Amino acid sequence: MANRHLSRSIVLQSLFEWDFGSKNSTEAKSIFARNVDEFAPGHGDFSFMENLIKGVLEKQKDIDLIIEKAAPDWPIDKISVIDRNILRIGLYELLFADRTQVPPKVAINEAIELSKTFGGETSSKFVNGVLGAVYKELGEPGKNETSKDNKNKFNPNTSVPIENLGGAVVYAKDGEDIYLALVHDVFGRWTLSKGKIEAGVELEKGVKEGIKDELGLDVKIKDKLGENEYIAYHPEKGKTKKHVVYYLAESKFKDIKREEKGGLDDAKWFKLADILDLNFYNDILPLVTKAINILLKK
């Protein structure tokens, strides 16, 4: 709808001015009111614009963590001001808006159109990649609905460079009890600690270093559990396929010291009996189940 596209453009312009000047949310509302008066006097969709900018500002911290999760190699303050605010609008509509009013595909396509109009040469590619990654994590709601614009559809099967990572199901014994150390991400899922394997670094050594950095735990590598892959995004490099090898690794039962970084918001020990009630990604659950079966046989 043309009016909605204009509405999003005015919200984007207001967020850009607010973000560029490092102003507070109160000033953002004043900037928005001025822009509406100047560029859309009498515009009939004021409530949509007002709710959109209010929602983005209220959810900004949560949205920024999600951006860093979807583009883990690119800190939020390194993304251009225009691109990060397009992402904030797109993610707010994708995650928090009423889907009967703004279907997921509309949220993604509108953000892409904003990036083509206001962003740089690589903006639309980056925005498409980040929103596509989040859309995939959501289970691709509305995937089978017909779309008027298939050229912007997220395609996770495109050939892309591969980056190697290593992770582990980390366990520890405390008396008769066995615990697993898990990390929690901003998408609301419990998952496994992992880290990038630098070129020339032996895989198991890289896994130990990654867990030490992320959890503050020293581990001994035990069994190999399996491998999986997922797509991540970089505003300059584009899509990267992350190939992760997972192990079972033993630690002493000690306090976890979680690394403060975008994308993760918690880390803790869980007793084995409580593990399978947690919310895991589909590709992580089989690895955790295999690890539990191994531990129960030890």
- 162-297, CATH topology level: Nucleoside Triphosphate Pyrophosphohydrolase (3.90.79)
95 by DSSP, 3-state: which? helix
Residue among 102, 67, 94 nearest 83 (CA): 67
Cα–Cα distance measured from residue 168 to residue 187, given in angstroms and rounded to the nearest whole number: 20
Question: 269 to each of 205, 245, 258, how far by Cα in Å?
Answer: 23, 22, 12
Beta carbons of 142 and 104 less than 8 angstroms apart: yes
Q: What is the pLDDT of residues 77-136, one digit of tens each?
A: 889 999 999 999 999 999 998 888 888 889 999 999 999 999 988 888 899 888 988 888
Strand pairing category for 177-185 and 219-234: unpaired
Cα–Cα distance measured from residue 115 to residue 107, given in angstroms and rounded to the nearest whole number: 13
CA 131, 136, 137, 138 torsion-angle sign: positive
Beta carbons of 192 and 169 less than 8 angstroms apart: yes
For residue 61, pLDDT beyond 70: yes
Q: What is the pLDDT of residues 145-154, one digit of tens each?
A: 544 444 444 4
Q: Express as a percent the part of the chain with pLDDT over 90.
A: 48
Cα–Cα distance measured from residue 247 to residue 166, given in angstroms and rounded to the nearest whole number: 8
Give the pLDDT band (50/70/90) at residue 44.
low
| Higher pLDDT, residue 51 or 145 | 51
Q: What is the CATH architecture of 2-146?
A: Orthogonal Bundle (1.10)
Q: What is the pLDDT of residues 4-34, one digit of tens each?
A: 888 999 999 999 999 988 677 788 888 998 8
**Segments making up each domain of the chain, as ranges:** 2-146, 162-297
Give the pLDDT band (50/70/90) at residue 236.
low
pLDDT of residue 60: 92
pLDDT of residue 185: 77
Give the pLDDT band (50/70/90) at residue 233.
low
> 36 φ, ψ to 5°?
-65, -45
> 74 φ, ψ to 5°?
-135, 100
Most confident listed range (65-74, 111-120, 245-254): 245-254
Find the helix packing angle between 2-20 and 81-95, rounded to 10°.
130
Q: For all residues of the chain together, what is the average pLDDT? A: 85
Beta carbons of 231 and 180 less than 8 angstroms apart: no
Beta carbons of 90 and 107 less than 8 angstroms apart: yes
Beta carbons of 233 and 70 less than 8 angstroms apart: yes
